[in-house]
């Protein structure tokens, strides 16, 4: 038996607004392209490790070079490689300044320093026994403590410092 309509209820057509139909059409057309662009940016390292994330900085005397990651994620490891020219037979110090100590926790450091100290938000590592002199490398694995923009400085033996700008995503 077919249902009958009551005389009090009547069906009204759906009111369509042309503005919202155009918004939906644009979202459908451009949303896929935007999604693909975000995925490609992620694959290339815009949000973490990758081509866009790899950075390198050299001081004005070319005695210090730092290879680092420009972009990282909070609570994920980030790597730094510091290459420096040390005088033969002498000790050398590496000083981390700027926001480095507040922004990062050091998980691994190789080679181990002979002595380390911290003063006024800066950390100084002292290395000895470099009889051959020349280029030396220092590897660090750090973990960001919070998200945001971090500006750090690295300096060797009171020579000109290198400034690093990194961005940590949440």
78 and 122: one domain? yes
pLDDT of residue 2 exceeding 60: no
**What is the C-alpha to C-alpha distance for residues 145 and 94, in angstroms, rounded to an integer?**
22
Do 78 and 38 reside in the same domain of the chain?
no
Give the pair of three-digit tokens for residue 36: 């693909």
- Whether residue 84 is contained in a domain is answered as yes
pLDDT value for 9: 62
Q: Running DSSP on this structure, what letter comes out for residue 52? A: T
> Is residue 125 within a helix (H) or strand (E), and if so which, with residue range?
strand 122-127
Characterize the bridge pairing of strands 122-127 and 115-119: antiparallel
Q: From CA 91, how far away is CA 127, in angstroms rounded?
A: 6
Question: Residue 79 corresponds to which tokens in the numbers above?
Answer: 């790597």
Predicted TM-score (pTM) of this structure: 0.73
**In this predicted structure, what is the pLDDT of residue 59?**
86
Asked if the structure places residue 162 within a domain, the reply is yes
Q: Is the pLDDT of residue 3 over 80?
A: no
Q: Is the domain of 92 the same as that of 161?
A: yes
Segments forming the whole domain that contains residue 41: 17-46
Report yes or no on 2 lying in a domain: no
Average pLDDT on 27-42 reads: 88
56 — pLDDT class (breaks 50, 70, 90): confident
One domain, residues 111 and 36: no
Residue 4 lies in a domain: no
Residue 93 and residue 22 share a domain: no
Domain total in the chain = 2
Asked if the structure places residue 132 within a domain, the reply is yes
- In which band, very low, low, confident or very high, does the pLDDT at 82 lie, cut at 50, 70 and 90? very high
Q: How far apart are CA 150 and CA 144, in angstroms?
A: 10
23 and 92 fall within a common domain: no
Reported as a single tens digit per residue, the pLDDT across 112-168 is 999 999 988 899 999 886 666 677 889 999 999 999 999 999 998 888 999 999 999
> Exposed, middle or buried by CB within 10 Å (0-12, 13-18, 19+), for 108?
exposed
Asked if residue 146 is part of any domain, the answer here is yes
84 closest CA partner among 142, 127, 49? 127
69 with 117, same domain: the answer is yes
Residues 41 and 71 placed together within one structural domain of the fold: no
Tell whether 94 and 119 lie within a shared domain. Answer: yes
* Tens-digit pLDDT profile for residues 13-33: 888 889 999 998 888 888 888
**What CATH number is given to the structural domain containing 93?**
2.60.40.680
Q: Are residues 38 and 69 in the same domain?
A: no
Specify if 21 maps to a domain.
yes
In terms of domains, do 31 and 58 share one? no
């Amino acid at each position: 038996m077919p249902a009958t309509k009551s005389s009090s209820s009547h069906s009204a057509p759906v009111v369509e607004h042309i503005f919202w139909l155009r918004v939906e059409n644009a979202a459908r057309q451009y949303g896929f392209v935007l999604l693909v662009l975000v995925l490609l940016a992620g694959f290339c390292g815009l949000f973490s490790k990758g081509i866009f994330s790899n950075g390198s900085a050299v001081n004005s005397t070319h005695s210090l070079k730092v290879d680092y990651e420009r972009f990282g994620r909070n609570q994920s490891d980030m790597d730094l490689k510091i290459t420096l020219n040390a005088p033969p037979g002498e000790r050398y110090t590496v000083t981390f300044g700027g926001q480095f100590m507040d922004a990062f926790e050091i998980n691994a450091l190789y080679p181990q320093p002979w002595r380390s100290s911290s003063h006024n938000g800066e950390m100084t590592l002292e290395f000895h026994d470099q009889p051959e002199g020349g280029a030396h490398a220092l590897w660090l694995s750090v973990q960001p403590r919070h998200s945001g923009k971090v500006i750090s400085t690295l300096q060797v033996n009171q020579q000109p410092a290198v400034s690093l700008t990194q961005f940590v995503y949440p």
